[in-house]
Structure 1
């Protein structure tokens, strides 16, 4: 995938996130994808656990995500975002480092500050 194609996938992933559409959100991940979010203290393995993460932290907190930018870094795509929602503080920034397998996310590492 080109960086332009990866950026387009990320834009659709964020649109799915903001619509709180679980199936559309999960469709962006491989079946065995891994999402690591140290801010919540755990790693989520496979679509089933990633669904749990999405329900808890995005649907549960009515989180909205704004894409600030993407940058290719070696074999991954660095994604900078801003979050607002019904969580303590109501706003925070963060990044995701994504690796892709075809058009789907194989690995996502979150750094939510």
Structure 2
């Protein structure tokens, strides 16, 4: 799980949407309370990454990863970009194939 999360962060920090999408299941869902939207499937995840990571030049730093079993982890992050600096969390769930199936995201 930690490798998967670090791959996601490395890809988003490089603004490499294609590489970031490779860690998501095709039917993945990102529910981001801080923006009040849910992004479903590959097209939705792509839109989320392009809008909130590429669009805002967001760079993320992992503060902690707390695993909850084999397929779930709570990730605390420091985000910086055109919006300033924020901290937040990603509650990440993976599927049987080891890909991200769901992320519940929120800022502190």
Distance 1:112 1:35 in 2: 14
* TM-score with structure 1 setting the length: 0.90
Q: Which runs of 5+ in 2 are unaligned?
A: none
Q: Which runs of 5+ in 1 are unaligned?
A: 1-5
Is 1:86 matched up with 2:82?
Answer: yes
Q: Which one has a larger percent helix, Structure 1 or Structure 2?
A: 1
Moved over 3 A (4+): none
Query: Alpha-carbon deviation of 1:73?
Result: 2.6
| Cα-Cα RMSD | 1.0
Query: Alpha-carbon deviation of 1:38?
Result: 1.0
Is 1:100 matched up with 2:106?
Answer: no
Distance 1:45 1:94 in 2: 21
Distance 1:43 1:98 in 2: 14
Distance 1:8 1:25 in 2: 13
Per-residue Cα deviation, 1:21-56 (whole angstroms, up to 9, x for no partner)? 011011110000000001111100001011111111
Map residues 1-113 of structure 1 onto 2, 5 A cutoff: 6-73=1-68, 76-87=72-83, 90-101=84-95, 102-113=97-108
* TM-score with structure 2 setting the length: 0.94
Distance 2:68 2:88 in 1: 16
